Amino acid sequence: MHSVGSPKLSMGKQEAFKIFLRDHKDRQTIEENKTQVMQRSIEAKGLGEQMNETRTRLTSFEDLSIDLSVVLVRCITLNLQASEITQYLVKP
C-alpha cells in the first residue's frame, strides 16, 4: 500500500504497516473517512460533468441571443410591425 510517487516498502515493512493499520485504535474512523473521500470524489466528478453540460448549454443560449439580436436589428431596420417580426422568430 503506497501512494504514487512514494518509495516501495520492503515486504517486512509492508506487513508491519498492515498490522499497524489493522490494530490502530482509529482504524474504523480512517476507513469511514476513506469511504467519505471516495464518495465525495464521485460526487465532485458528477458535479463537474453537470457544470460542463451547463456551460455548453449556456454557450448555445448565448449564440441564440446573438441570433435574436441580429433578427431584431434587421426587423427594426426594415421597420417591420410586431406581427411581421414573429415570422423571423419562429422556425418552420
- What would the pLDDT profile of 10-64 be if each residue is shown by its tens digit? 889 888 888 888 888 888 888 899 999 999 999 999 988 998 888 888 787 777 7
Instruction: Check if the beta carbon of residue 2 is closer than 8 Å to that of residue 9.
Output: yes
Above 50 in pLDDT, residue 2? no
Over residues 77-92, the mean pLDDT reads: 64
Grid coordinates representing 12?
517486512
**Domain boundaries of the chain, sorted by first residue:** 11-89
Q: What per-residue confidence (pLDDT) applies to 91?
A: 54
pTM of the predicted structure, to 2 decimals:
0.46
Q: How far apart are CA 54 and CA 24, in angstroms?
A: 45
Q: What per-residue confidence (pLDDT) applies to 45?
A: 92
